[in-house]
A = this chain, B = another copy of it.
Amino acid sequence: MSQTISTVAFIGLGVMGYPMAGHLARQGLTVRVYNRTAATAKAWVAEHGGSHHKTPQEAAQGADIVLVCVGNDDDVREVTAGPQGALKGMAAGSLLVDHTTASSDLAEELAGTCREQGTGFIDAPVSGGQQGAINGVLTIMCGGDESEFARAEPILCHYARAVSLMGPAGSGQLTKMVNQICIAGLVQGLAEGLHFAEQAGLDQQRVIDVIAKGAAGSWQMENRHKTMIGDEYEHGFAVDWMRKDLGICLDQARRLQARLPVTALVDQFYGDIQVMGGGRWDTSSLLRRLRDLGRG
Contact = CB atoms under 8 A, between A and B. Distances in A.
A76 interface: no
Interface in A113-164: 127-129, 139, 141, 162, 164
A276 interface: no
B260 A166 contact: no
Interface in A215-249: 215-221, 223, 237, 249
Interface stretch (A18-26, A27-35, A186-194): A186-194
9 contacts: A128-B214, A164-B210, A175-B197, A178-B211, A182-B211, A182-B218, A199-B253, A214-B219, A257-B294
Interface string A182-210: 11111011101111111111110011011
Interface residues of A, number: 71
B260 A192 contact: yes
B186 A218 contact: yes
Contacts of A164: 206, 209-210
Contacts of A189: 181-186, 188-189, 262-263
Contact of A127 (B188, B214, B219): B214
A210 to B, nearest CB: 5
Nearest to A264: B192
A266 interface: yes
Interface in A242-296: 249, 252-253, 256-263, 265-266, 269, 290, 293-294
A192 to B, nearest CB: 5
Nearest to A165: B206
A198 to B, nearest CB: 8
Contacts of A202: 166-167, 171, 174-175, 178
A170 B128 CA distance: 39
Given A182-B189, A207-B175, A214 B139 contact: yes
B207 A178 contact: yes
Given A178-B211, A181-B192, A193-B178, A290 B259 contact: yes
